[in-house]
Structures are given as structure tokens and as C-alpha cells.
């Protein structure tokens, strides 16, 4: 194991379609931004996308752009430009690298698609269910670009969900309608909204089914694969195209299971990844786990885009339920039970917590959860320190030694 | 040179600060060892260290049955037949000396580790210091430079302290500034050095709880045995220390070599 072996693994065939899917997604927006053919909304990753799609917006996700900046390792160089404006290195590195990207006029879209810049927004729409940082992030663009900013303010640390919480969120979403009508200049079309909601529900079902295939032993794919293939569920939920993509991916994964195909050849260990991906290190981590015959089979992160509560017959209420039942806004007890349920389903041998320096909301190791879950489930846990985009917060050698030692520990059992 | 060593097993621990080699005979007896600065050429340091240890063991390279390397530079040892992490090797080395359930505290040059073992020597958990190297040997090295006190004098100074100066900062660099401030206030150097030791201990104790018996290893306690007395006083526990605390990882690696453990690399 002295060095991770360069591996030639069987690629997921749908990846080719995914590549075209993402290119089309960005070209369509680039064209709309240039010609004004369609309004563009910027939306937070678990913001009210269905409403925006239903009102005819093309939807762009700055968090997706942040992940691209991280994956291309452009982020670490761009973050300091936002820091110099007064945005602390301790806050969301999606925010800081994205603002840095704007200031420096550099985007990974240029390299990938020959697109000069991200599409200019007509409106900025947030939901603070991810964190408060998204609101501040969008507020910066609102001031910079003189674009209207609207949003939903979430409840947090929720145990049992109460009616008043659902009513509140539903009414906040409904209150967005007249503000968005002002941007589109068109009357809200309930039927179209319901249609988008139906598509999104179907996307969630398909995406959830894809993730559940990893319950098979051996697993047909890994967390690292899923972080790539989740893109349509994130950026195109509420469209038929997203569903078409997962209608293609799901049978391929099912066939892999039928064929007993192991994404990690000779799978010996199975892990759960809790927390954000380390975007700039996906490949090297994936290769290290592969060389250790360890498959990361499931994660809170990839599961976070399953909104199967959506119901076209109760559009605002079901959206409120979907965006309030989210893991990220729940209390510790709920989160522990959620991971316990995942443990029962995916049968992993250990949990890896990623303590992301700039993402406290997605770092669940900080209040004793690893220790409590280790005791409850009788499996070991490991915390590695890093970040989603700021690689200055990640010591690769330390992290890799920790992972290697963790697998040694599993082998001693 | 005569060669009466018979079969030997070698463990090489290439740490960020020092390289350690341990040679065991087939009875698991430590018959040769060596410690050198790792420097910038890990391969060269490992080879030099091996040669010294072989000389001490009165053995030749032909006697080596198997070698396992560990530590930060474990992948830079061309003559090793396998690697294991330093966490695994410290655990194995400590269990060799103290076969019981224990908490191991290793204070190294740049890494601190707290490792828990069950009564069979299996790892239950481990933690390494986070990004910051405060509380490691590097902290004392930096302070020795800033205070112009030779590292080897620190232990006696701390032991001779009448009082202790407490330091508040997490950061090694800011701690140095704090220390200079204490000197300006007229605090005595021995009291400050004892405060530095206390700072190291605080950083380590906040990493994890101590359960079962406690073993301390690593270069810092090898050169500063008074620090162990301080830990005993602070924790009100008896602390066990192997005969050569700096060699524990290398001994563990040699034991893995004997057991054909370690991943082939």
C-alpha cells in the first residue's frame, strides 16, 4: 500500500451523457443571459427551485459553482480576494471562493465549456436552511449587481416538526410569488408549478433509488461517484431532463448489482462519509480508499437532495415539509437516528466525519456525535480535518495517515 | 566484523523530526537501535540509522529477515518490505512492553497521538493532533531557540522550578511572544520552562480522555523525563514509560516485521 496504485476502473457509462447534460445546462443559461430570452434566478442549493422552475426561470446555483471551483482547485487561490474585502477565512469557502472568482473574472466554466462568465442573475433567491452564509453571499451580489434579493428563513435545530413551522415556511414560499412575478412580468401559473413539483418529486425518487443501490454488497458505486452524478438532482430538479438522466443511470447501477460488480475491487470495508466532500481531493481520496479495498458506500451529503415529500396536490405545503425535514436543520437526536437508519440499510463498518473548517452546519463531529454513534452502533469513527474548498485547511499527509490507520484498526477487529 | 546475530527483524520509524531504527532478535529482544535527525533526505537518514543500529547489534544486512517502515516518511525507505502507520506501530510497540488495556500518549516531533487499546492489544480508537503542531516537540524546539536555552537543558530547568508560569495561547509563535513578555515581567526562566512543559501536557490532555493504564512515549519524554512526573501529578495517575520511549514505533514496526504484518509496498 505504499503508494496508491493508479487504477483503471470501469467507468459508469452514463457519465458521457452526464457530461453533455451539464454542458447543455450551462450553454442554455449562457445563451439566455446574453440574449435575454429567459429570466435567470440564482438559487441556493436547497432553495425553492420548484417554484422558480414553475415560474419559467432558468436556475443557476452558486454552490455548484463553488464545488466546481473546489474540484478544479481554483478556490484556494481565489478565497483571499474575498478575505481582503472583509469576508473572514472562517466563513463558508463556497462564498469566499465564488466572490473571489467574480472579482478575478475567473471561472472553471471557461476551461470546461468556453463560457466566459457565470450567467448574470435577474433575481437572487435563498433559503437559509443550508446556513446563514448563503444569505450574506447573495446579499453581496445583490449590492454588487443591483439585483433583487428574496428568500426563505428556515427553522433550525428541529426535533419533531410542528404545524406552525410548516405553515410558516409554506407562507414564506408563497410570499415569494408576487416578488418573482415582478421579475418575470408574467402571472404565476399554478399548473406549471405543479408540473415542476412533480418532476422534482420523480427526480428525488430516482436519485434516492440510485443511492440505495449502494446497499448491495459489494457496492456498485462509491460516494465519490455519487458526488459527480448528483449534479442533475442539484441543478435541474424540477425538469424532465433530470429524470431522463436518472432513468438512464439507475438501470446501469441495477445491472452492476445483478452482475455482482464491485466498484472497489475486492471490497473489504464499507464506510459512511458524514460531512462535506473535500472537492479538490476527491480523486486522491477515492484512489486511497480503492487501494485500501474500502468503499465509501453512503453519505449524508448525497442523501440531502432527496425530497420525496413533494406532492403536486399540496404544492406549497409539501415544499415546506421537504425543506424542513432536511437533515441539516434537524436536532442532534434526529441526526443520530438518521445515521443509525443508514447504518442498518448500508451496513458500513465505520464512519468518517469530515470536520470542514468553514462549514460548521455540515460538520457534525463538533458536539460529541462521533463518540455517541460509535458507542451506540459499536463501530469505530474517525474525524479528519479539512474543508470543502479551502485546501489551506487540509493537511494531506495527516489525513491520509489517519485514514490508513483507521483501516488498519478495522482489520484488527 | 563478526556476525553472530542470527535472524534479525528491523523496524524503521521515519518521523518528521527524527528517524529511529530498532533491531529485534528472534526472541524479540532489542539488540540494536539508533536515532538520527530525519533531515531532508529520508532515505539517506534511514540508511545511516540502519547502519548504526546494525553495528550496535553486531549484525549485517544479510541477517535481516524482514523490515517494516513506519512514520511520516515510511514510504521513503527502499529497503523496507512493508509499511504500517505510526499509530499501528506505537500501539504494537507499547503492547509489547505492557500487555494490557491502555491509553497511549505519544508526544512526537510534530504529531501527538492518543491511542486506546483493549486488553488484547486491538485498537479501539485513536486521535492525532489537528492541523496545529502546538504541544508537540516542535513547540519546545521553537521555544528553545527563542529563549536561547539548549533543548537538553530544559528538563533540569523545569525540575528546578519553584513556581510555574502559565501560558494561555494555542499558537506556538504567539506563545513565544507571551514568554518574552513574562521574561520582561521578571519571571524566572525555570518557572517559564515548567510552564512550557505544562502547555505541552494541556494540549495533549485535551485531545482525548485517559482510560485504563496510561503509557507515554515519544522523543519529548525520552529527553524530558520530568514532563512525565508532571503528567502524573496533574492526572493523579501512575504513568508507564517504556525503556526507550522514542523507539516505541520502531519496535512496533520490527514486531510487525517478525509477524509478517505491514502492507507490501
Average confidence score pLDDT of chain A: 96
Closest to A272 in 3D by CA, of A366, A359, A360, A379: A379
Q: In terms of CATH architecture, what is A17-412?
A: 3-Layer(aba) Sandwich (3.40)
For chain B positions 21-80, those within 8 Å of chain A (CB to CB) are: 72, 74-75
Are residues A409 and B126, on separate chains, in Cβ contact within 8 Å? yes
B window 209-228, beta carbon within 8 A of A: none
The residue ranges of every structural domain in chain A are 17-412
Query: Is A405's Cβ below 8 Å from some Cβ in B?
Result: yes
Confidence of residue A284 (pLDDT cuts 50, 70, 90): very high
Rounded (to 5) percent helix, strand, coil in chain A: 55, 10, 35
How large is the average pLDDT for residues B3-11? 85
- Using H for helix, E for strand and C for coil, what is the string for B189-222? HHHHHHHHHHHHHHHHHCCCCCCCEEEEECHHHH
Q: Which residues make Cβ contacts (< 8 Å) with residue A337, sequence separation at least 6?
A: none
CA A34 to chain CA centroid, nearest Å: 28
Please state the domain extents for chain B.
8-89+247-258, 100-241
Q: How many CB pairs under 8 A join A and B?
A: 51
Q: Does domain B8-89+247-258 sit in CATH 3.30.420.40?
A: yes
* CATH topology agreement for domains B8-89+247-258 and B100-241: yes
Nearest-CB residue to B131 (from A393, A401, A408) = A393
> Mind listing the pLDDT tens digit for each residue in A257-277?
999 999 999 999 999 999 999
Select from B83, B86, B130 the Cβ nearest to the Cβ of A1: B83
- Write the CB contacts of A357 (distance below 8 Å, at least 6 apart in sequence): A90, A93, A385, A386, A387, A390, A393
Q: What is the pLDDT of residues A158-177, one digit of tens each?
A: 999 999 999 999 999 999 99
Interface confidence, given as ipTM, is 0.90
On the question of pLDDT at B196 being above 50, the answer is yes
| More confidently predicted of B132 and B24 | B24
Touching check for B130 and chain A: CB below 8 Å?
yes
Give the list of residues 6+ apart from residue A258 with CB closer than 8 angstroms, or none: none
Task: Give the fold, CATH level 3, of B100-241.
Answer: Nucleotidyltransferase; domain 5 (3.30.420)
User: So what's the pLDDT on residue A1?
Assistant: 41
Q: What is the pLDDT of residue B147?
A: 86
pLDDT tens digits, A73-94:
999 999 999 999 999 999 999 9
Please give the average per-residue pLDDT across B141-165, as a whole number: 92
Report pLDDT for A54.
97
pLDDT(A178) > 70: yes
- Count the residues in chain A: 413
Amino acid at each position: 500500500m505504499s503508494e496508491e496504485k493508479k487504477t483503471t476502473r470501469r467507468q459508469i457509462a452514463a457519465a458521457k451523457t452526464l457530461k453533455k447534460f451539464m454542458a447543455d445546462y450551462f450553454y442554455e443559461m449562457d445563451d439566455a443571459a446574453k440574449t435575454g430570452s429567459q429570466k435567470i434566478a440564482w438559487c441556493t442549493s436547497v432553495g425553492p427551485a420548484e417554484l422558480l422552475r414553475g415560474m419559467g426561470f432558468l436556475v443557476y446555483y452558486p454552490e455548484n459553482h463553488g464545488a466546481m471551483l473546489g474540484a478544479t482547485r481554483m478556490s484556494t487561490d481565489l478565497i483571499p480576494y474575498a478575505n481582503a474585502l472583509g469576508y473572514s477565512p472562517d466563513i463558508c469557502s463556497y462564498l469566499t471562493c465564488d466572490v473571489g472568482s467574480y472579482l478575478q473574472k475567473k471561472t472553471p466554466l471557461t476551461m470546461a465549456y468556453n463560457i466566459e462568465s457565470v450567467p448574470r442573475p435577474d433575481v437572487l433567491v435563498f433559503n437559509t436552511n443550508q446556513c446563514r452564509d448563503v444569505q450574506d453571499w447573495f446579499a453581496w451580489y445583490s449590492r454588487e449587481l443591483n439585483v433583487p434579493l428574496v428568500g426563505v428563513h428556515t427553522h433550525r435545530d428541529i426535533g419533531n416538526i410542528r404545524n406552525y413551522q410548516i405553515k410558516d415556511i409554506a407562507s414564506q414560499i408563497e410570499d415569494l410569488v408576487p416578488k418573482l412575478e415582478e421579475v418575470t412580468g408574467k402571472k404565476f401559473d399554478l399548473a406549471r408549478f405543479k408540473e415542476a413539483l412533480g418532476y422534482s418529486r420523480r427526480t428525488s425518487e430516482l436519485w434516492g433509488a440510485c443511492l440505495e443501490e449502494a446497499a448491495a454488497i459489494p457496492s456498485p458505486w462509491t460516494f465519490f461517484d455519487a458526488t459527480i452524478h448528483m449534479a442533475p438532482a442539484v441543478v435541474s430538479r424540477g425538469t424532465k431532463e433530470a429524470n431522463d438522466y436518472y432513468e438512464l443511470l439507475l438501470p446501469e447501477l441495477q445491472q452492476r448489482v445483478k452482475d455482482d460488480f464491485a466498484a472497489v475491487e475486492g471490497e473489504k470495508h464499507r464506510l459512511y462519509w458524514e460531512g462535506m466532500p473535500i472537492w479538490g481531493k476527491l480523486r486522491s481520496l477515492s484512489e486511497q480508499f480503492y487501494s485500501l479495498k474500502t468503499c465509501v458506500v453512503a453519505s449524508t451529503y448525497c442523501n440531502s437532495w432527496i425530497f420525496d415529500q413533494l406532492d403536486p396536490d399540496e404544492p406549497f405545503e409539501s415544499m415546506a415539509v421537504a425543506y424542513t425535514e432536511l437533515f441539516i436543520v434537524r436536532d442532534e437526536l434526529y441526526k443520530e437516528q438518521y445515521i443509525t437508519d443508514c447504518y442498518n440499510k448500508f451496513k458500513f463498518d465505520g464512519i468518517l466525519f469530515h470536520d470542514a473548517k468553514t462549514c460548521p452546519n455540515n460538520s457534525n463531529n463538533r458536539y460529541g456525535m462521533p463518540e455517541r454513534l460509535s458507542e451506540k452502533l459499536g463501530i469505530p469513527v474517525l474525524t479528519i480535518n479539512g474543508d470543502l474548498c479551502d485546501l489551506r485547511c487540509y493537511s494531506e499527509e495527516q489525513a491520509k495517515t489517519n485514514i490508513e490507520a483507521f483501516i488498519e484498526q478495522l482489520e484488527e477487529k | 566484523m563478526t556476525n553472530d546475530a542470527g535472524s534479525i527483524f528491523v523496524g524503521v520509524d521515519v518521523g518528521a523530526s527524527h528517524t529511529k531504527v530498532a533491531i529485534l532478535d528472534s526472541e524479540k529482544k532489542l539488540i540494536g537501535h539508533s536515532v538520527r535527525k530525519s533531515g531532508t533526505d529520508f532515505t539517506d537518514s534511514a540508511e545511516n540509522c540502519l547502519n548504526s543500529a546494525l553495528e550496535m547489534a553486531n549484525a549485517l544486512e544479510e541477517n535481516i529477515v524482514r523490515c517494516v517502515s513506519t512514520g511520516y516518511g515510511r514510504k521513503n525507505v527502499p529497503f523496507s518490505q512493508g509499511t504500517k502507520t505510526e499509530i499501528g506501530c506505537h500501539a504494537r510497540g507499547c503492547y509489547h512492553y505492557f500487555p494490557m488495556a491502555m491509553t497511549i500518549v505519544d508526544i512526537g516531533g510534530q504529531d501527538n497521538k492518543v491511542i486506546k487499546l483493549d486488553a488484547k492489544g486491538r485498537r479501539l480508537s485513536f486521535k492525532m493532533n489537528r492541523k496545529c503542531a502546538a504541544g508537540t516537540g516542535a513547540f519546545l524546539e521553537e521555544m528553545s531557540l527563542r529563549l536561547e536555552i539548549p533543548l537538553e537543558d530544559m528538563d533540569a530547568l523545569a525540575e528546578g522550578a519553584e513556581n510555574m508560569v502559565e501560558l494561555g495561547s494555542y499558537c506556538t509563535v504567539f506563545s513565544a511572544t507571551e514568554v518574552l513578555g513574562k521574561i520582561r515581567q521578571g519571571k524566572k526562566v525555570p518557572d517559564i520552562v515548567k510552564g512550557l512543559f505544562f502547555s505541552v501536557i494541556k494540549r495533549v490532555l485535551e485531545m482525548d480522555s485517559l482510560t485504563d493504564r496510561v503509557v507515554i512515549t515519544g522523543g519529548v519524554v525520552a529527553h524530558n523525563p520530568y514532563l512525565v512526573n508532571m503528567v502524573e501529578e496533574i492526572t493523579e495517575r501512575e504513568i508507564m514509560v517504556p525503556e526507550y520511549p522514542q523507539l516505541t514505533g520502531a519496535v512496533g514496526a520490527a514486531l510487525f516485521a517478525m509477524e509478517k504484518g505491514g502492507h507490501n509496498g
